[in-house]
Chain A
C-alpha cells in the first residue's frame, strides 16, 4: 500500500514539475547520451575515466573537450591540430580554469624528432612593477586581494598567440583554422552539460558573481543562481569571439575590437593593460627541460615554469632509492617523497624565475650529482630544508591534457587563467574571462620572482612527455593544481615506472604533497593505496606534521595521461575532477 501511495505521490510530483514549464535558460541537449563525470547522486564518478585506443588517444579535463579533439583527429588532423581544438574547447566547457583570457605551455614531441615547448604564459603589463599592489605599509591592497582579483591581477593573455604559433609551425596543414575551431564554436552556441567540478566552482565563487563581478554572473549564473549538474550552458558571445579568431587569426584578438574591449574592461576594474601590451605579445619558443629516470627520458617544461625542472630534480633524488621495494604510500616512501619535495621547494623559492630577467641554474637543478647532495642529507627524520647549491653543478649539463595520434606525434598541454574564474573579470559582449596570472609573482619587491613589466610570473605547470630508452613515446601527462602540479606529475611517473601501474591506476593512486610549510605532509585519507593508520603514526614518529585533506580531493590536481602500453594506447583521466579519456 505504501508503495502505491509513493508511486501516486511521485507521479503527482512529476506532473506538477512538468506543469511548471521549461526553464528558458535550460534546454535539452541534443546529445543526451554524452558521458557525465557525475553520478545520479551528484558525486564525481570514480570509475570509467579511462580508455584504450589503437590509433590515438585524447584525454582532457572535460568529455566535451575530449570529443572536440577526437573530431579533429578523425578529420585527418594531427595531434597538434587536435590539441588546438581542445584548448579552445576547454575555454568553453571549463571556463573557470582556462580560456582566451589565459595562457599556458604546449609541449610537443613530433614523430620526426622535433621537440619544442611553446611558452604562451602571460606577461605583466609594461606599466606595472613590484610596487603595483602595495600600500604605503607594504601590505597588498584591497585586504590582500589586489594581486589576484580585479584589474591589477591581469597579465597579457597568451592563449591565442600560442595556439596560432602551434598551428602555423606544427599543424598537419590538412585542416584550416576554422575547421579546428568549429567544435568549440558549436559547443559555445549549442551548449554543454555542466559537470560537477564546474558547478562546484560556480558555487564557491558565487559571491563575486553577484557583487562586483556581475558580468561574470551574467554568463555563468542561471536566473541568478548557480547552474546545477546536467544543466546545459551556452555562451553565444564567446561563440562570436571564437568565430572572429577563426576568421582573422591572432590579430582578431590582439588588435581591433576585441583588444579594445579587453583594455577598456580591465581599466574599468583598475587595471593598466594597454593596446600596446596586447599588440606586442609573442609566445616564447623554448627547448624543453630534460632529464632521465631509471632509463626513461623526461621531457618537460622549462622556465617560466618551474615544473619540469623540479620534476627532474625530485626524480633524480628518488632515483637513489629502490622505490619499488619501499612500496606505494608506505611510511618509508612517503617520508622520502616529503623530504625530496621540501628540498625542491626550497630551491624553487630561491632560484626560479623568468630566465629573461634572472639567471637560473637549470643545469645544476637537473643534475644528478646535485640531486645526490640532497639524497646524502636525507635522514630517517623529518627536516626543514633550505636552498642547496645548484650553481656548483651548472657545468654538468592549470587544465592539463594529452593527445597522441597514429603517427606518433604527442602533445601535452597545461593552460590556465590561474585561480578559478581568473581575476573574475569577464569581457562583456565577448564572453571570455581574464586571467589573474600576476598572482604568481611574489609580492615581495626583493624576490627573484618579483613583478616587472614584460616579465612572466613563475609557474608550476608541467606538461610532460616521457620517452623510453630507445627514444620512443612512452607516456604523456600533466595536471592542474598550482604548486601541487609538479609533485603530482612526478608521483604519477613514479607510479608507472617504479610500481608498474597502468595509466588509470597511476592517476587514481592517492598522492601526497609537502612544500615544507606548517601543513607538513598533506594526504588523502581514502582512495587507492591510501596510507594506513600505522603509516601515518610512523610518519608522525619521524617528526612529520600531517594534514588530512579530503579523499579524491582536487587539491591534489587533476592528472590526465597517456601510456603507450602493450595492450594499446592507454588513456587515463583524473576522478578528482571532470576528466575523461577516449581512444580511437
Chain B
C-alpha cells in the first residue's frame, strides 16, 4: 500500500515537474501508478516537423516514408543539429544504431550521441515537442543501439515503440518511470496509425 502511495506521489511530482518545463507541446497522459506505460491520451504536438536519426540506421527514413504516405509534412535530416531546427515545433528522433550508417555518415557513435544531445537540448530550450521512436524491433537492440535509447527517450514528450524491440522493458521502463506516454505497436507500419493522433 505504501508503495502505491509513494508511486502516486512520485508520479504527481513528475507530472508537475514536466509541466514546469514549459515545453509548448508536452504530451498528456495519466500516469499509471502500477508502473506500466500509458498511451497518449490527447494530441499535443504541432507541425512543422523535423525528423532525424538516433544512431544512423535507416529507420528514420522508413518513418519519413510512412509520414509522407499519410500526407504529413516534414523535413528530414540524419545529421541535424540545433541550427537546423528552424521553425520546427516538433522533433522526431528515430532511434536505431547502425555501424554501416554511422560509417556512411562519417560520424562515430560518440559523435552521434553528442549531436543528439545538442539537438534535443536545443529543441527543448526552444520549446519544441520531442517524440522518440524505436521502430527497428529486436534487430535494433544491442550495445550500439542501446547507447542511444536512454539519452533520447528520457527527454521525450512521447514515445512510439515497436514491441519486439522492448521485450526486456528498457524503453517502457524509462517511459513509465518518467511519466512519458508511450504507445507500443507491432510493426513499423503502425506508425502511420498512431503518430497522427499526437498532432493537434
Residues of A within 8 A of B (CB): 41-43, 143-145, 200, 203-207, 210, 223-226, 228, 550
Instruction: List B residues 61-97 near A (Cβ within 8 Å).
Output: 61-62, 65-66, 69
Which B residues touch A145, using CB under 8 A?
104
Q: Is the CB of B139 within 8 A of A200?
A: yes
Q: Is the CB of A228 within 8 A of B187?
A: yes
Q: Is the CB of B142 within 8 A of A550?
A: yes
Residues of B within 8 A of A (CB): 57-59, 61-62, 65-66, 69, 98, 100-101, 103-104, 106, 136-139, 142, 164, 187-189
**Given A225-B65, A225-B66, A225-B189, A205:B58 Cβ within 8 A:** yes
Which A residues touch B98, using CB under 8 A?
204
Q: Is the CB of B69 within 8 A of A206?
A: no
Interface of B (DSSP majority class):
helix
Taking a contact as CB atoms closer than 8 A, the residue among A41, A143, A144, A207 that contacts B61 in the complex is A207
CA distance A43 to B164 in the complex (A): 10
Taking a contact as CB atoms closer than 8 A, the residue among A43, A207, A228 that contacts B101 in the complex is A207
Which A residues touch B101, using CB under 8 A?
207
CA distance A225 to B69 in the complex (A): 11
Q: Is the CB of A143 within 8 A of B106?
A: yes
Q: Is the CB of A204 within 8 A of B104?
A: no
21 contacts between A and B (CB under 8 A): A42-B138, A143-B106, A145-B104, A200-B139, A203-B62, A203-B136, A203-B139, A204-B58, A204-B98, A204-B100, A206-B61, A206-B62, A207-B58, A207-B101, A210-B65, A223-B69, A225-B65, A225-B66, A225-B189, A228-B187, A550-B142
Q: Is the CB of B104 within 8 A of A42?
A: no
CA distance A511 to B52 in the complex (A): 37
Q: Is the CB of B58 within 8 A of A203?
A: yes
Which B residues touch A228, using CB under 8 A?
187
CA distance A226 to B57 in the complex (A): 14
CA distance A203 to B66 in the complex (A): 14
CA distance A210 to B101 in the complex (A): 14
Task: Determine the residue in chain A with the shortest Cβ distance to B164.
Answer: A42
Task: Determine the residue in chain A with the shortest Cβ distance to B189.
Answer: A225
In the complex, how many angstroms separate the beta carbon of B100 from the nearest chain A beta carbon? 7
Interface pairs A-B: 7 shortest CB-CB: A206-B58, A207-B58, A224-B65, A207-B61, A143-B106, A210-B61, A206-B61
In the complex, how many angstroms separate the beta carbon of B97 from the nearest chain A beta carbon? 12
CA distance A545 to B64 in the complex (A): 41
Which B residues touch A226, using CB under 8 A?
62
